[in-house]
Amino acid sequence: MKRKARIGISGSIIVDEGGMFPGYERAYVNDDYIKSVIKAGGIPVIIPLIKDEKDIKEQLDMVDGIIISGGHDVNPLLYGEEPSQKLGGILPKRDDFDINLINLAMEAKKPILGICRGHQLLNVVNGGSLYQDLSFIEGCYIKHNQASLSNIPTHTIKIKEGTKLRETLGEETMCNSFHHLAIKEVAKGFIASAVSKDGIVEAIEHEGEEFVIGVQWHPEMMSAENKNMLSIFIKLVEACLNKI
């Protein structure tokens, strides 16, 4: 009998702004990621942010696939642009960590699911670019940051025929939305597998058989009650089990 798939979830850093230890850094991931992996039948493993590439490889060797979690804006210097006045908070050491993690996972052909920032960074690592703010996109009219009610879907996405995401979610579905950056140029070797009705790239996936998918929304916030969104994590777990 096969063991359960171990799903690594990339960690972030939060800095205490008050209390007993102002300025104190804490490693964390949001609990929704943990619950989603468990509900999908996998074993969640938090992968904390570290510097040494050899140690990151050791971290990766302990898991069967990875989730690149959401959070900070991606540093635009990574795709050859200066920061605009509308750029939000960045964390370059987290970019470095996630870039190493993605590159090593792709080299090892381990399944990858990028969520929000993870979706954007997956595109950048592979040579794509981003809009630093939705206001720079002509024709963008949908509210892409709903600000609250994290588990409630608020806008429609259309899913491209012949993609892994189409097999998982069908032709059309509703998603939640918490972003102000968006994909500009899709990376070589990837396709835009879902778009919103105002043309924003809502998902990308690597061409070929490997499970390497990025989604702009937050399925982990919806998976407790939404079978469609849970199915994304189930497909990730299945892809990992096929590698064991």
* Residues labelled catalytic: 116, 218, 220
Q: In DSSP terms, which residues pair with 205 in a beta bridge?
A: 191, 213
Q: What are phi and psi of 232, to 5 degrees?
A: -65, -45
Helices 92-107 & 117-125 angle (0-180, nearest 10): 60
Positive/negative CA dihedral, 39, 40, 42, 44: negative
Distance CA 194, CA 156 (A): 10
**Of 35, 13, 70, residue with least CA distance to 215:** 70
